[in-house]
Every structure is written in C-alpha cells, then in structure tokens.
C-alpha cells in the first residue's frame, strides 16, 4: 500500500481511525495487542482500528516516519491527531482513541530538543569531571548524578523504561493523587 492509497483510505473512512503498526515478532506489539483489541470493542462504531504489519508495508512505514514499533496513530478526518510509540498502559492507549474521536491534539508535555541537549551536555560534563578527578569516593556520586541527568533527557523515548515503569505501577498499584 502506498502512502497515497493509505491517505485516500483514511479520507474515505466515515469515522476516526486508530492504526496499529506492528509485527508478529515484536514482543511489545504482542503485549499491547489485547489492550488495543479491548479498546477497539469499547469504541466500536466511534473509532475503527486498523492493523498494519510493518514487515509487509515497509514503504508505508518509511513514508509515515515510523521508526519503532509498536506505533499507534490516531487519525480524524484523514489528519493525524496523536501518535504513540512503544508499549504503553491502557490509559495512555485510551487517550489515542479519545483524541481520534475529538480530533483535538492533546497538550504536549515533552521536552524540547534544546532541553534534551542541555540535559545530555550537563550529564556528560558531570561524568567527565568525575572521570578526570578519579572515580573514588564522592566522585562516584558525581558520575551517577551525571548518568541520571542524561537519562532524564531520553527516558520518555525509552520503550523498556515505559514497559518496566508500567509493570512497577501495576505491582504497587500506584495511582496519581486526586489533589
């Protein structure tokens, strides 16, 4: 399927669409599949769910700039309104379906590229200082702090972090406080 064919199919869809780009060998794809299926049933008649096997649609994947799977994209009236890459909890996947229905792009809370670069540079500087001073005593803490700062620049793009944090929250039933 070409990008033009895909866009045409989206435009002809009478209701919003959530497209699940997946592959049969992808563990995170398989882990969210039951959630996507459940949400598909819950939003039946309001949102269509399409599944695209990226092994068979490499050209479409490149055309839509999909660089990792699973990637779910919400479309309303043929326009992308939200995208999610990596395994995610049900509430995050639900927001895709809600965005598809409303057609409104949710507010972004992601870091800007400048913020990411600054965190990476500061973290790297702390690690380099610790290495120059010699990794002993307090300098280990300095290097560790540098590593944590660097990780804070990229953690939201890390599918392993998302999957592990989701599991930990489920284990401890951590819920946001209602204040």
Query: Of 10, 18, 26, 127, which residue is the catalytic one?
Result: 26
Q: What is the pLDDT of residue 60?
A: 87
Average of per-residue pLDDT across 58-67 = 86
Q: What is the pLDDT of residue 177?
A: 47
Is 158 marked active-site?
no
Helix (H/G/I), strand (E/B), else coil: 51: strand
Q: What is the pLDDT of residue 179?
A: 43
CATH (residue range 3-102):
3.40.30.10
Q: What is the pLDDT of residue 32?
A: 92
Strand order in the sheet with 17-22: 48-53, 17-22, 71-76, 79-85
Q: What is the pLDDT of residue 34?
A: 93
Q: How many whole angstroms separate alpha carbon 80 and alpha carbon 63? A: 14
What digits encode the pLDDT tens for the residues 94-116? 988 999 998 876 655 566 778 88
Span of 22-26, 38-42, 147-151, 157-161 with lowest mean pLDDT? 157-161
Q: What is the pLDDT of residue 106?
A: 61
Q: What is the pLDDT of residue 68?
A: 86
Closest CA to 36 of 72, 83, 79: 72
Residue 143's Cβ-side half-sphere holds a number of Cα atoms within 13 Å equal to 12
Q: How many whole angstroms separate alpha carbon 66 and alpha carbon 110? A: 18
């Amino acid at each position: 399927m070409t990008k033009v064919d895909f866009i045409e199919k989206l435009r002809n869809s009478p209701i919003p669409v959530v497209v699940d780009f997946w592959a049969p060998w992808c563990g995170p794809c398989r882990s969210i599949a039951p959630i996507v299926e459940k949400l598909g049933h819950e939003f039946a008649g309001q949102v269509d769910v399409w599944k695209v096997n990226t092994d068979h649609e490499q050209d479409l994947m490149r055309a839509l700039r999909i660089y990792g799977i699973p990637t779910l994209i919400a479309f309303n009236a043929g326009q992308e309104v939200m995208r999610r890459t990596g395994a995610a909890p049900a509430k995050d996947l639900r927001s895709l379906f809600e965005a598809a229905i409303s057609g409104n792009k949710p507010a972004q809370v992601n870091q800007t590229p400048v913020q990411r670069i600054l965190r990476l540079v500061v973290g790297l500087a702390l690690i380099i200082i610790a290495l120059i001073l010699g990794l002993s005593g307090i300098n280990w803490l300095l290097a560790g702090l540098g590593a944590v700062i660097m990780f804070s620049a990229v953690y939201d793009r890390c599918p392993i972090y998302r999957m592990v944090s989701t599991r930990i929250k489920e284990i401890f039933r951590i819920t946001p406080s209602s204040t």
